[in-house]
Amino acid sequence: MRILGIDPALTVTGYGVIDATANKVVLVEAGVIKTSCRQPMHLRLEKIHQAVSSLISDTKPEIMVLEKLYAHYRHPTTAFFLGQARGVICLACAQQGVMLVEYAATRVKKAITGRGLASKYQIQRMVSKTFSLNALPRYNDVTDALALAIAHSSIARAYR
């Protein structure tokens, strides 16, 4: 099964594509989609939408995985901006007929490390170990996206 994990954000959106079989996961592609805070909002959202649409067309995932939206009451504006980025990503997914699944961050962390409250560093280490990477990915966003994809493969495997 080909899985696309996306860690949405307005400035740096991370993505990771994996192929998952019954007993292993293989890294296909990973990277980031960057926008500039100097650009108007509508152009930033358009860039994210186009990049995700192209990514879906190029990699042909069977499923896309996003983290469920969590918003702290002290930062409502952050949640609003994140929601816009998630919206254009979900739109690209729907337009191309890709199934969408969402998981809470704690569920992803538990699937990756065995602890629902694992640190960013622990997630990075486990993702790097899973793919035998020589170095940690430069962006946490990439690690988080790959963690989403790996978690889904693990969770889906448990329900088969």
- Per-residue confidence at 75, pLDDT binned at 50, 70, 90? confident
Is pLDDT of 159 > 70? no
pLDDT of residue 135: 87
Question: Which residues have a Cβ under 8 Å from the Cβ of 121 and sit 6 or more positions away?
Answer: none
* Average pLDDT of the residues in 91-99: 97
The pTM (predicted TM-score) of the whole model is 0.94
Per-residue pLDDT of 51-68, as tens digits, reads: 999 999 999 999 999 998
From 7, 4, 8, select the one nearest 18 (Cα to Cα). Answer: 4
Q: Which residues are catalytic?
A: 7, 67, 141
The hierarchical CATH code for the domain 2-158 is 3.30.420.10
Per-residue pLDDT of 2-45, as tens digits, reads: 999 999 999 999 999 999 998 899 999 999 999 999 999 999 99
CA torsion, ordered 95, 100, 105, 109, to nearest 10 deg: -120
- The token duo for 151 is 């978690």
Q: Please, are residues 7 and 67 in contact by the beta-carbon 8 Å criterion? A: yes
- Per-residue confidence at 72, pLDDT binned at 50, 70, 90? low
Give the neighbor-by-neighbor strand order of the sheet with 2-7.
Answer: 25-34, 12-20, 2-7, 63-67, 99-103
- Cα separation of 43 and 75, whole Å? 23
Per-residue pLDDT of 100-141, as tens digits, reads: 999 999 999 999 999 899 999 999 999 999 999 988 888 899
Say which residue the tokens 């996306």 belong to: 6
Instruction: Tell me the CA distances in angstroms from 42 to 39, 45, 47, 81, one per residue in order.
Output: 8, 5, 9, 11
